[in-house]
Structure 1
Amino acid sequence: MAPRHDGVEVVWAVSRLSRGRIEWRGEDGSTGTAAADRFGFVPQGDEILRVKVAGLKPGGKYELRAITVATDGGDTEEGPWKKFRTLDPAAQETSFVIWNDTHQNAPTIGKLHEVTPRGDFLLWNGDTCNDWHQEDWLVPTLLHPAGQDVSADRPLLLVWGNHDVRGKWAYKVPEMVATPDGRPFYAFRSGPVAVICLHTGEDKPDDHPSFGGRVAFEKLRQEQAEWLREVIARPEFRDAPYRIVFCHIPLRWKTEVADAGYDKGGYDAYSRSSREAWHGSLVDWKAQVIVSGHTHQPAWLPGTEEFPYGQLVGGGPQPERATWIEGKADANALTLVMRNLEGKVIEQVEFKPVA
């Protein structure tokens, strides 16, 4: 998970108290081991193990494997070698794949894993689950969904959806999910594309009775607003040819209800509070497209004078409603193609480099 220009983070499940390390080797003949956490311990755990691999070359091709040692009996297990490539901010081109709203639907996840190309990364754009009312749903849903190794040959990035934060065990999701900077919002370059990933939180206010006082997304949105102003000023983002934002709940929708009746359990198809917090910075940055899920209705809303950025929205969890998006960028254009599971093109949009 969490690819960077200099490495990745590896997360895997264990059945009892164990310690672990990662062995890696590069196509250039380099090798190494990662076996220390931030506090000087060998990574240990009784449910999952996490190891951050660093010091690799941008755009390098590597393989890694996890070595797990049970602390009570000393049994050792060597995992299979897995291929991946680090991100390369200086590359002339990039390709990637986007999923959304799988909601623990095994047939959909299996088909997505089968038909989607590998690319430089897979971005899972929220709602991996329906809710987290059972703790034992976390590992199978996030680390081997539908029994698949969805990160085979491509590193995985996760954007939080509103269902990913529901249920009494939702607070444990950050233990299972690695992000480049350890926060649920982050930014990176992959070739000519600058990517910003934002957390839209829930689709109702924090004090809505259904949340039982468990969430504090209003503060998180403001924290992201401050961070966003700083990020878009960095040269690698300020000068990027292409500019894309991923967030689970759309920032625009076809029909915008003035009052969704949140106090009565109402629902809104877009995140007004997120847009209010981030819109100014997104316009200043000349963001070209926001890619989202949430509505379970594929949609493309071109940019307008008020909202210069387009809004692309993926489909739903059932196989007949599911979609996936392939992104490709080079010196000429950034192209996003949305297809259904049968390969039919649902939407195709293209962007020229920002002037």
Structure 2
Amino acid sequence: MKTPAVIMAPRADGVEVVWAVSKLARGHVEWKAEDGSSGTAGADRFGFVPQGDEILRVKLSGLKPGVRYQLRAITDSTDGKDRLEGPWKKFRTLDPTAQETRFVVWNDTHQNDETIKQLHAVTPPGDFLLWNGDTCNDWHQEDWLVPTLLNPGGQDVSDDRPMLLVWGNHDVRGKWAFKVPEMIATPDGRPFYAFRSGPVAVLCLHTGEDKPDNHPSFGGRVAFEALRREQAEWIKQVTAQPGFRDAPYRVVFCHIPLRWTKEVADAGYEKGGYDAFSRFSREAWHDALVGWKTQIVISGHTHSPAWIEANAEFPYAQLVGGGPQANRATWIEGKANAEALSFVMKDLEGKVVHEIALKPI
């Protein structure tokens, strides 16, 4: 095993486990529950045992909601000479009916190993760890992908806090960015998804790049206008489903904010202008998010923490986390119960930067 087994994409009935290997190998996962039940997972959608010469992925399904489990990844070389058993790691499946939930949020780590180490040290366990974009600066080198995504800062980040990734604009930059989906699992296999954790309904959206698709810096590699339109229709569909249309709390995660403290009418992209918020995404999604009664949008991107309250024009508030340097980095802990959904943003020294509490709808 070249990296720890990363527990990703938590669901009510399981998770997906991803790890890197140094040579052609097969993999499977063993699991055990608090009640003494146990089992293995080791088959892909095509009838093969998961195998590869770089990445192994195992989807674990059929588990019970809200139950604490342990799992470990087993790697066998295809020549039968080597077998590696990874350490047991803890997680809990999501429970849409739970009375409470607790989760944590990172953003904009940009391959800053020292910041990641400190974030890992101060971040408590949770039902999930939401990595809210810009894991990297760009993907100009293929060999950056594995350590950045599966062993960030040399840390085993997903033990007792299964990981979810929201794509940032830097995560789609560079000639090797197309390989990120090979190493990142999401609940639905797309870069946008929805889930319910206790009383909180969550939408995770992909804001794409911070410039138009035809900007010369992208070299014709991106097509986010179509993806934003697809998400606009998807938001309407998913929020009409039970569990989302009646959720007490309604949260959106997206890397680039949908609002900012100072907005300009024309960013002037052709002249190197910069938007601190995703004008394109807001135009595509605003009506659907208002229709869902979104309470808060949580983002990164600006490297400057901010709290923008809801108002008549924008009924959803905006919370933005800090940046990659240790003196700018922040992390967020979210907790929800019948009384309130609270967010506490702290810096790496433990100082509270923002503290917000929302009442149920």
Q: What TM bracket, shorter-length normalisation?
A: over 0.9
Task: Write out per-residue CA displacement over residues 281-308 of structure 1, whole angstroms, 9 at most, x where no aligned residue.
Answer: 1101100000000000000000010000
State how far apart, in whole Å, the 1-side matches of 2:211 and 2:188 are: 27
Amino acid at match of 2:50: P
1:257-336 → structure 2 map (5 Å cutoff) = 257-336=264-343
DSSP 3-state at the match of 1:2 = strand
State how far apart, in whole Å, the 2-side matches of 1:72 and 1:132 are: 33
RMSD: 0.6
Matched, 1:182 2:182: no
Task: Write out per-residue CA displacement over residues 123-155 of structure 1, whole angstroms, 9 at most, x where no aligned residue.
Answer: 000000000000000000000001000101110
Matched, 1:52 2:59: yes
Task: Write out per-residue CA displacement over residues 248-296 of structure 1, whole angstroms, 9 at most, x where no aligned residue.
Answer: 0000001111111111222100001100110001101100000000000
State how far apart, in whole Å, the 1-side matches of 2:149 and 2:28 are: 20
Out of 117, 137, 141, the position equivalent to 1:134 is 141
Out of 9, 12, 25, the position equivalent to 2:32 is 25
Aligned length: 354
Give the equivalent residue in structure 2 for 1:146.
153
Give the equivalent residue in structure 1 for 2:91.
84
Give the equivalent residue in structure 1 for 2:104.
97
Amino acid at match of 1:136: D
Q: C-alpha displacement at 1:73, in angstroms?
A: 4.6
Amino acid at match of 1:279: H
Give the equivalent residue in structure 2 for 1:67.
74
Deviates more, 1:64-73 or 1:233-242: 64-73
Q: C-alpha displacement at 1:74, in angstroms?
A: 3.2
Task: Write out per-residue CA displacement over residues 189-233 of structure 1, whole angstroms, 9 at most, x where no aligned residue.
Answer: 000000000000000001100000000000000010111000110
Matched, 1:343 2:346: no
Give the equivalent residue in structure 1 for 2:3.
none
Give the equivalent residue in structure 1 for 2:121.
114
State how far apart, in whole Å, the 1-side matches of 2:294 and 2:160 are: 29
DSSP 3-state at the match of 1:335 = strand
State how far apart, in whole Å, the 2-side matches of 1:279 and 1:163 are: 23
Q: C-alpha displacement at 1:6, in angstroms?
A: 0.3
Question: Which 4+ stretches in 1 moved above 3 angstroms?
Answer: none
State how far apart, in whole Å, the 2-side matches of 1:323 and 1:145 are: 17
Task: Write out per-residue CA displacement over residues 155-182 of structure 1, whole angstroms, 9 at most, x where no aligned residue.
Answer: 0000000000000000000000000000
State how far apart, in whole Å, the 1-side matches of 2:43 and 2:177 are: 27
Q: C-alpha displacement at 1:72, in angstroms?
A: 3.1
DSSP 3-state at the match of 1:218 = helix
Give the equivalent residue in structure 1 for 2:4.
none
Which ranges of structure 1 fall in alignment gaps of 5 or more residues?
none
TM-score (norm 1): 0.99
Amino acid at match of 2:23: R
DSSP 3-state at the match of 2:244 = helix
State how far apart, in whole Å, the 2-side matches of 1:153 and 1:3 are: 11
Q: C-alpha displacement at 1:235, in angstroms?
A: 1.3
Matched, 1:222 2:222: no
State how far apart, in whole Å, the 2-side matches of 1:105 and 1:73 are: 38
TM-score (norm 2): 0.97
Give the equivalent residue in structure 2 for 1:14.
21
DSSP 3-state at the match of 2:11 = coil
Deviates more, 1:322-331 or 1:71-80: 71-80
State how far apart, in whole Å, the 2-side matches of 1:312 and 1:74 are: 51
Q: C-alpha displacement at 1:87, in angstroms?
A: 0.3
Give the equivalent residue in structure 1 for 2:164.
157
Deviates more, 1:256-265 or 1:343-352: 256-265
DSSP 3-state at the match of 2:243 = helix
Give the equivalent residue in structure 1 for 2:5.
none
State how far apart, in whole Å, the 1-side matches of 2:314 and 2:357 are: 17
State how far apart, in whole Å, the 2-side matches of 1:91 and 1:245 are: 20
Task: Write out per-residue CA displacement over residues 78-132 of structure 1, whole angstroms, 9 at most, x where no aligned residue.
Answer: 1111011000000000000000000011111000000011111100000000000
Task: Write out per-residue CA displacement over residues 304-336 of structure 1, whole angstroms, 9 at most, x where no aligned residue.
Answer: 100000000000000000000000000000001
State how far apart, in whole Å, the 1-side matches of 2:172 and 2:347 are: 27
Amino acid at match of 2:92: R
Amino acid at match of 2:27: G
State how far apart, in whole Å, the 2-side matches of 1:242 and 1:148 are: 32
State how far apart, in whole Å, the 1-side matches of 2:223 and 2:53 are: 29
